[in-house]
Amino acid sequence: MTETENPKKAVALSYQPGTAPKVSAKGEDRLAEEIIALAQQAGIPIHQDEYLCDFLQRLEVGDEIPSELYLLIAELIAFVYVLDGKFPEKWNNMHQKIMEEA
């Protein structure tokens, strides 16, 4: 397949605690590359999942993600928080215990 037949795609999500994540940008080809480049420059983690991206491409910019994706997106957001060294207070320093065992 050529790149024309299988274009690069990207979807950006924004999240504010207390609300559902929203599509903040989306695009194909050069626009997708620009979205990815801007995210990389800003230090925003990038998750590559062709099927999730295809599904999110169906939404419009500004749309909240559907409730069927809440758990999946919540897991991705939680993983990013952990990568950034952020842990919920309720974890009672669980991350320290994990790091000591590793």
Look at the block and give the residue holding tokens 């929203």. 22
Cross-strand bridge partners of residue 25: 12
The reported pLDDT for the residue numbered 57 is 96
The pLDDT value recorded for residue 90 is 65
pLDDT tens profile 10-53: 999 998 888 999 999 999 999 999 999 999 999 999 999 999 99
Quick one: pLDDT at residue 1?
A: 36
In DSSP terms, 26 is beta-bridged to 11
Q: Which of 42, 66, 41, 55 is nearest to 11 (CA)?
A: 55
Average model confidence (pLDDT) across the chain = 85
Q: Provide the whole-model pTM.
A: 0.74
Mean pLDDT (whole number) for 45-71: 94
Rounded-to-integer distance, Cα 31 and Cα 25, Å:
10
* Confidence check: pLDDT of 2 > 50: no
Indicate the CATH number for domain 9-101.
3.40.1690.10
Distances in whole angstroms, Cα of residue 24 to Cα of each of 5, 13, 92, 97, 101 = 25, 5, 34, 36, 39
Q: Are 12 and 25 in contact (CB under 8 A)?
A: yes
DSSP 19: S
Domain positions in the chain are 9-101
More confident residue, 73 or 93: 73
> What is the reported pLDDT for 84?
81
pLDDT tops 80 at residue 92: no
Q: What is the reported pLDDT for 34?
A: 96
